[in-house]
């Protein structure tokens, strides 16, 4: 049954070009803006860029001016690629329950013998799959762009690989589960999306603090984050199934 729900959700998404476009616009910005900025910086004022990197981040950039600046700045951009897998599924997951109710498709769905867990997992996978695919494509394009600017292979390094391959799916599940929990209680899909989107704020704060050179997030931080997020995922999925009150969803209009 999970597969049936997943297939339907993906079919609907494929037929919604505007929704797909809205999901692609943020990753496109996240890739293009820093790569272009980096390209301009290392070509227009390489010495100043190197001095800036050494001053702010307190590191000696390895492998020459261009590669050094590219490596340091690009690595500090990683948290942005951890925000994407949280943010992207929220767009879909916030619509999952409230949207069905708004379109009056929820009652026929609940009238079938499908279990609550199957509905939630089917819809979650449908939100996760495109979000992760877009994140990974964006990450690959970012690495290619940075490497092209640096004139050698700077990314991906170990932190990037761990971040995109391990942390991203966990964070995507976190964003999705949060949106499903919110969506099954706050039935207006727009309100659910806005509320669920606040979960990206801590990561955005980390990004800002790291870019400002106040902290340096190392491998230990990312390992701890992965463990914490995995635990939160399990709890949130269980909460989502428990909070899915079929009667309330059909009768409460708040």
Longest dimension (CA), the chain: 67
Residue 236: count of CB within 10 angstroms of its CB: 20
Work out the angle at residue 191's Cα, subtended by the Cα atoms of residues 209 and 85, and round it to the nearest 5 degrees: 45
Nearer to other proteins, 21 or 51 (CB): 21
CA–CA separation, 31 and 27 (whole Å): 6
| Binding positions for other proteins, 221-250, rule CB under 8 A | 246-247, 250
Nearest approach, Cβ of residue 223 and other proteins (Å): 41
Q: Can you tell me which of 43, 60, 103, 190 binds other proteins, judged by CB under 8 A?
A: 103
Q: Can you tell me which of 109, 159, 191, 211 binds other proteins, judged by CB under 8 A?
A: 109
Cβ neighbours of residue 2 closer than 8 Å, sequence gap 6 or more: 118, 121, 122, 125
Nearer to other proteins, 47 or 247 (CB): 247
DSSP secondary structure string for all residues of 106-134: HHHHHTSS--HHHHHHHHHHHHHHHHHHH
Count, residues near other proteins per rule CB under 8 A: 26
Tokens of 90: 């929220």
Told to check if 26 binds other proteins by CB under 8 A, we report: no
Nearest approach, Cβ of residue 124 and other proteins (Å): 17
Q: Can you tell me which of 22, 25, 29, 112 binds other proteins, judged by CB under 8 A?
A: 112
Q: Can you tell me which of 44, 108, 214, 254 binds other proteins, judged by CB under 8 A?
A: 108
Residues that bind other proteins (CB under 8 A): 1, 4-5, 7-8, 11-12, 15-16, 103-115, 246-247, 250-251
């Amino acid at each position: 049954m999970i597969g049936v729900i997943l297939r339907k959700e993906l079919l609907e998404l494929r037929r919604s070009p505007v929704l797909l476009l809205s999901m692609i616009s943020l990753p496109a910005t996240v890739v293009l803006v820093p790569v272009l900025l980096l390209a301009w910086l290392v070509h227009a004022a390489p010495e100043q860029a190197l001095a800036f990197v050494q001053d702010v981040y307190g590191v000696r950039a390895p492998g020459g001016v261009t590669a050094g600046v590219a490596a340091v700045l690009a690595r500090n951009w990683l948290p942005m690629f951890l925000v994407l897998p949280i943010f992207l599924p929220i767009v879909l997951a916030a619509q999952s329950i409230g949207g069905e109710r708004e379109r009056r498709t929820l009652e026929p769905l609940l009238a079938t013998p499908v279990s609550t867990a199957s509905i939630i997992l089917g819809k979650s996978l449908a939100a996760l799959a495109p979000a992760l695919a877009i994140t990974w494509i964006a990450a690959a394009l970012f690495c290619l762009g940075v490497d092209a600017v640096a004139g050698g292979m700077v990314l991906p390094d170990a932190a990037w690989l761990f971040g995109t391959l391990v942390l991203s799916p966990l964070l995507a599940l976190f964003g999705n589960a949060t949106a499903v929990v919110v969506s099954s209680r706050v039935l207006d899909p727009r309100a659910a999306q806005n509320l669920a989107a606040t979960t990206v704020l801590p990561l955005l704060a980390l990004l800002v603090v790291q870019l400002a050179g106040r902290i340096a997030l190392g491998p230990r931080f990312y390992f701890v984050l992965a463990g914490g997020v995995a635990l939160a995922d399990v709890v949130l999925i269980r909460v989502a199934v428990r909070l899915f009150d079929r009667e309330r969803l059909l009768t409460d209009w708040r």
